[in-house]
Amino acid sequence: MLEGVNELAAWPADVTRRLADTVGEPEAVEPLGGMSGSEVYLVRGARDSVVLKVSAGPREARFYTRVAPHLRPAGIPIPDLVWYEHVADRHWLILEHIPTPLPIPHRDSWSPDPRMVAVLARLHALPIDAPPADFRREEWRWTDAMSEAALSFFAPAEARSLAPAVRALQQEAQHLAEEWCWISGDPNPLNWGLRADGGLALFDWELFRRGAPPLDLAILVVGHGDAEKYEQLARCYLDQWRAVTSAPPWPPATLARDIALGKAWTFVALLSHIVVRGGGRVPDRLKEQLAEYVPPWLREIAGL
């Protein structure tokens, strides 16, 4: 019996025809999780499986149709685009299914994976004019409004106590807004997988944009991280950078500090997003963890 028949029946005929052409008669439709605004499904058929991604905005469709062809030859492992169409005011992408998720270590035992770090080093070393120039996110700044929204996530007394650390980190991190290179925007360990041949792949490119390497590197760290983990990642990245191109432009200590600032930026942005846009896609357990662990960690980072 077909699983997910309700989703399949609601999709445009052009989409279901292309799915049938690709995977054979669909046998199962499985919604996949995530906190983006897109709908993502794993569609299994008699011949194959694919991922269907549906979004109101064109950003990721533009990435797969216009940018990915420039990045794959440079060794950036991106899922193949099987089919794309703008139908019924939405963008429909049929993508290669990456079947095996990478195991996610516990935050206390995390260490940098050189394979992931090498991919990011290759991406960051590409000429800034390689993909289309309109892939900017001018709104990607750590602003006063973002800090205020993030602080309002906490109880008033906690917010007042935490405000000096947040504002100090915001001021120190402003240089990370420079459009230094192309970045993935979300190389979260959950967004990596292995192809059937064992090759690594990075998916979910909605936040691809110009930015600074530490913003990508910070997202690789599972959990909040600490000074030792940021230093480990900085050394690993600099080794991979040297393998790709010339001597890196950062001393290890500078890059480690920027990774810490990037991590603080990521958490402040997440808290601001929850407050401003609602947290419907953010699990309650994660909200509880943010409320418990983020304040002391931000104070620690501000004091390093």
Domains belonging to the chain, first-starting first, are 5-97 (3.30.200.20), 101-303 (3.90.1200.10)
CB contact set of 262 (below 8 Å; sequence gap of 6+):
173, 176, 212, 214, 215, 216, 217, 218, 219
- Cα separation of the two ends of the chain: 58
Burial status of residue 135 (CB atoms within 10 A of its CB: 0-12, 13-18, 19 or more): middle
Q: How far apart are CA 245 and CA 304, in angstroms?
A: 31
Is residue 304 classed as helix, strand or coil in its secondary structure? coil
With beta carbons less than 8 A apart as the criterion, state whether 266 and 134 touch.
no
Mean of pLDDT values over 24-28: 91
How many Å is the Cα radius of gyration of the chain? Answer: 20
Instruction: Provide CB contacts within 8 A for 133, sequence distance 6+.
Output: none
Using DSSP, state whether 202 is helix, strand or coil. strand
Residue 18 has pLDDT above 70, yes or no: yes
> How many CB atoms lie under 10 A from the CB of residue 18?
19
DSSP symbols for 79-146: PPEEEEEEETTEEEEEEE---EEPP---TTT----HHHHHHHHHHHTS-TTSS-TT---TT----HHH
Residue 248 class from Cβ within 10 Å (0-12 exposed, 13-18 middle, 19+ buried)?
buried
**Is-contact 255 238, C-beta < 8 A?**
yes
Angle at 190 between CA 39 and CA 112, to 5 degrees: 155
Residue 5 scores a pLDDT above 80: no
Q: DSSP string spanning 35-86?
A: SSSSEEEEEEESS-EEEEEEESSSHHHHIIIIIHHHHGGGT---PPEEEEEE
Whole-number pLDDT of residue 127: 85
Residues 211, 218: Cα–Cα separation, whole Å: 13
Q: 97: Cβ–Cβ under 8 A, 6 or more apart, which residues?
A: 42, 48, 49, 50, 51, 79
61-117 pLDDT, tens digit per residue, is: 999 999 999 899 999 999 999 999 999 899 999 999 999 999 888 888 999 999 999
Q: At 275, is the pLDDT very low, low, confident or very high (cuts 50, 70, 90)?
A: very high
**What contacts 163, CB < 8 A, 6 or more positions away?**
147, 151
Separation of alpha carbons 79 and 192, rounded Å: 10
pTM: 0.92
- The pair phi, psi for residue 44, each rounded to 5°, is -105, 135
User: 246: how many CB neighbours lie within 10 A of its CB?
Assistant: 8
Q: What is the pLDDT of residue 1?
A: 42
pLDDT tens, 138-178? Answer: 568 899 999 999 999 999 999 999 999 999 999 999 999 99
Q: How does residue 249 score in pLDDT terms, banded at 50, 70 and 90?
A: confident
The reported pLDDT for the residue numbered 8 is 82
